Amino acid sequence: MKRKESLFSIISSHFNLPFGFEFSDDLLLIDLPAWDSIEGVELIHKIENDMKIEFELEEIASFQTVGQIYQAIENHSINK
């Protein structure tokens, strides 16, 4: 599974989103159903565990969109 598909799968599972939920890089995290700060922390933890990466605190604090998370995943994958 490609990284972006994996990210979408993790988000879908975490928030129990319906099949066919429309993702885009511009999707704001606060627009995800059931989003709040606790869910955000849990989501980032799940992404880090599943994708075997560790984000910097500055990165996490800057995440506003799904695309920003994806770009950070790509950057970490390149730097391995």
First to last CA, the chain: 19
Query: Beta-carbon neighbour count of residue 47 at 10 Å?
Result: 20
pLDDT, tens digit, 9 for 90 and up, residues 16-73: 999 889 999 999 999 998 899 999 999 999 999 999 999 999 999 999 999 999 999 9
pLDDT score for 78: 78
Range(s) of the domain holding residue 40: 3-7+24-78
pLDDT score for 26: 96
Total domains in the chain come to 1
12 domain residue, yes or no = no
User: Are residues 11 and 66 in contact, defined by beta-carbon separation less than 8 angstroms?
Assistant: yes
**DSSP string for residues in 25-54:** TT-BGGGSTT--HHHHHHHHHHHHHHHT--
Judged against a pLDDT cut of 80, whether residue 79 lies above it is answered with no
The whole-model pTM stands at 0.90
pLDDT score for 55: 96
CATH number for the domain that contains residue 32: 1.10.1200.10
